[in-house]
Structure 1
Amino acid sequence: MNQTATYLGFVLDHKLNWKAHVERAVAKGTAAVLAVMRLTRPTVGMPHCYVRRLYISVVLPKMEYGLVAWYQPIRGEGRKKGSTAATDAMEYHAFVAPVKLRLNRTAMKNALRLASLPKSHPLNPLVSRCARLYVQRHRSPLHELYNAFPNASDVETIDSTPTRLTWAPRFS
């Protein structure tokens, strides 16, 4: 019996632990990388500058879709697993940030975007509660996000709409 369901591109399982979605995101990213690699044959392939653009514009967004819901940001260095010298050299020469740093940066941007929601937004009370209170049990992805980036909630929210319809900027 299938224990997963797909909704808006997310794979949800009955325990909501995001394992099935992460596996699907890795599979999609791997398939996209392999497709891009087929375009990079030494004799008739694309130039490296175009391959880099494809990687940044196609592969990375496929891996990062819905990142704020399923990714747990890494504080500090994180754990080192095995040797990644070839991957590190490839990322360095392609001038692309390592995947862990890119995922953390995207998660930080999402945390800042959520923290700067106006007070009239329906998610604002939930986000501000998760930013100031880290619970011990039944933590949501927002709790994990603001635990990893504690200063992300210290942003100023500027109302972009004028207060009166007759408002006009004053020029001196």
Structure 2
Amino acid sequence: NSETPPMAIRGTVIKSSPTHRFLGVLVDNMLRWHAHINNAIGKGTAYVMQLCHLSLSVKGIPLLLMKQLYMLVAVLKMLYAVDLWFHPLYVEDLDTTHWGSIGIAKRLGRIQHLAIISITGTMCTTATDVLEAHAKLIPLQHRIQNLCHQAILCFAAHPPLHPLH
């Protein structure tokens, strides 16, 4: 049950809300992260659409700056606190199924595909892996894996007396 009863403090009734923003992360009362994931994908899509508008104009910004804008604005906005809401992808071998946030990775990959099309100016039917190689970008799934692994290493490197150790 996702309904939380209202709380009363000194006669003031405080109703619960389905989500709460804490340090830029939308946290719901079931810790499912759906609201934050949808918000992150929406932000990424909005920023990429703005980049597409910048690249369509005749006197638009150069392609190198488009790539830098994508990497420094859209990717950082999409992947904020990714180590909280993304389950790293895992493949045991080629015959087994994949584990992790596969659907989220595919949705984020579509956003990167749109961004690379606007960066390189190619046709939308070009394969994503070819576009990523041409634009010299690593696949977004690998970037997310790297961010999750960096967070794990950061937590593991804390001294034994640290509260997060």
TM-score (norm 1): 0.64
Deviation at 1:2, TM superposition (A): 4.9
Q: Alignment partner of 2:21: what SS? A: strand
Residue type at the aligned position of 1:44: K
Deviation at 1:106, TM superposition (A): 0.8
The match for 2:120 is: none
Q: Distance in 2 between matches of 1:113 and 1:13?
A: 26
In the alignment, structure 1 residue 58 sits paired with structure 2 residue 73? yes
The match for 2:37 is: 22
The one-character-per-residue Cα deviations of 1:72-120 (angstroms, maximum 9, x if unpaired) are 0001384697x98533232221111111111011111111111111112
* Structure label with greater radius of gyration: 1
Q: Which deviates the most, 106-115 or 33-42?
A: 33-42
In the alignment, structure 1 residue 123 sits paired with structure 2 residue 138? no
After superposition, the CA RMSD in angstroms is 2.4
The match for 1:88 is: 129
Residues 156-167 of structure 1 aligned to structure 2 (within 5 Å): none
Q: Distance in 1 between matches of 2:143 and 2:151?
A: 12
Q: Alignment partner of 1:110: what SS? A: helix
Q: Distance in 1 between matches of 2:35 and 2:49?
A: 21
Paired residue total = 123
The match for 1:4 is: 19
Residues 70-109 of structure 1 aligned to structure 2 (within 5 Å): 70-76=85-91, 78=98, 86-109=127-150
Q: Distance in 2 between matches of 1:12 and 1:113?
A: 23
The match for 1:110 is: 151
Q: Distance in 2 between matches of 1:88 and 1:37?
A: 20
Residue type at the aligned position of 1:100: Q
Q: Distance in 1 between matches of 2:76 and 2:148?
A: 13
The match for 1:155 is: none
Q: Distance in 2 between matches of 1:42 and 1:6?
A: 36
The one-character-per-residue Cα deviations of 1:3-62 (angstroms, maximum 9, x if unpaired) are 212111111112111011101010011111111111112521111111111111111111
Whichever structure has more strand as a proportion of its residues is 2
The match for 1:40 is: 55
Which runs of 5 or more residues in structure 2 are unaligned? Answer: 1-15, 114-125
